[in-house]
Structure 1
Amino acid sequence: MSRSQALPQGQPSIAPAVAPSIAVELSQAAVSFGKPGKTVAALQETNLRIAAGEFVALVGPSGCGKSTILRLTAGLLNPTRGAVIVGGREVGAKALRIGMAFQNPTMLPWLTIERNVMLPLKIVRPFRSDYRAKRKTEFRDRVHALLADVGLDKFANHYPWQLSGGMLQRANLCRALIHEPSLLLLDEPFGALDQFTREELWGTMQSLWLKRKPTVLLITHDLKEAGFLASRICVMSARPGRIIDDSAVDFPRPRTVDMTFDADFVALNQRLRDLIIDARSDAAIQGA
């Protein structure tokens, strides 16, 4: 059948939907530590695909391999078996702009917040070649705009010891995003904060993601945090870990703390909790 016969005259054709590109892919990736004959399996063969612009949270028992997956994705660790593809290339084969934030902000105490946040622009290509010329103009404006997004615009010239833990973590997120990374890796970034500050920073992180849309991989033990922030949640088994559940989180955005008390959100939390409890129980039985 010709195209003119397939579509009524005057009716516009509909272009096929374009699937989002894959930013991160683990293909049968496994990790073991130790010498031959005395190896310890840290991660079983794991498959994981994260689309560009997606926000994925990894949850599971302590020691299950969540941080191992993050280190594989960052290129800080090579898989014992399998492959890790980031940005369409095997990790390490091509420089990919990555931002990272951890539980400890690790700000340099002798630098102001402005200079701490600007630090990646001094190190990361292509920004580092222009650092001397732009650090007091364009790069400074970039830092101040990002600090304003998180409510720290009046603290650019303060030193880390003059800020609270929550403020330091806001600055830490700014530093992770200042060089416009394609991929943002977060390892328990709010774990050391009190509950109220954590909830406030969930909103900050959500706003930054909605505005910039990097691909995000979040490691967390907080199921409520995962449900608030992520568009997908992957649950891992006990060590040696593997992904035992991968579910979309369809709550509308922007999400609020009040929403976390709704029945559907509470049900999601309980389902995730039950999966992790079952995984721990299975591991205990196998180890008995």
Structure 2
Amino acid sequence: MADIALRFHNDPLVLSAPIDELLARQGVDDPASQREFMDLIEPESVLEVQRLDHMVGAQCMVTNTYDITRARLAHSRFEEQSAEIARASVGILRDLQPQHIIASIGPTRLPIDPESRSSLKQNRDQYARAVQDFGDGFDAVLLDGMVSAVDLKCALAGVKKVCDLPVFASVDLDAQGRLMGRATSWPELLAVMAEFEADVVGFSSGAPVEDILPLVAQATEATSAPILVQLRVGEHDPRDVNPGFRPVELTPDNPYKTSDAVFEAGVALLSAGVQFLRAVGHATPSHTGALVIAGVGRDSVR
């Protein structure tokens, strides 16, 4: 695999989607609670699902490890298998021979006392241990969905302490551009990402693209780092993704049902200076493929 940092500010790159939606369509009950364990128990099933995003052209394949921290795995008593799960997830993607593999680490969701050094250290150590569990064979780390500014600080500090690969930092924003469930603004989060040296700054949003573009502008003004935008696809009828001539109603709270809508958003975001794109939530390979097509023939321009 090539050094992904060499591609920063060059060509648009698309990250593979989470596999939850396709697992649900295959009849897996509550896939979010089982996804990591499937890397061990049913690696062939995970491989076949992730192969679809690779086939539609995603340049960056993301490991199936959102809940890889020991704090999260402990809920199912799998914390002692964290390294085995992490390395299995990388091995699955190696079989696809993608351009890049990105190790995904989601939030610990531990309660954090910002005034307690031991509390902060405990959270930092969770993230440091998580990235170490992957071993080698991947190009970058995606810290995805950190739940507070303090959590974001801990995640970046922990990973940066033990890993010299590029780190993508992403937070989930609401329709008003605030951290989901909190009053923290996007500029405040950008300041944390800059202070703790995130190599790529990003966010996910389910808002219409016209509401996302001002957030992108704030990022381009605040930092020279590449920008990642993850478009949250809401629940939808599977027939709506590629509806042909059948009309599909797109609403402000669910604007990305169709692959056409995702394509149009991708074009607008790339034109605004975004380099990395990803479809998340209830995304399918059709949504990922639409983002890939949006970037064909383009350069990443800031």
Is this a same-fold pair by TM over 0.5?
no
Bigger fraction of residues in helix: 2
Higher strand share: 1
Structure number with greater CO (CA < 8 Å, separation at least 6) is 1
Larger Rg: 1
TM-score normalised to the size of structure 2? 0.35
Q: Please give the TM-score of this superposition, normalised by the length of structure 1.
A: 0.36
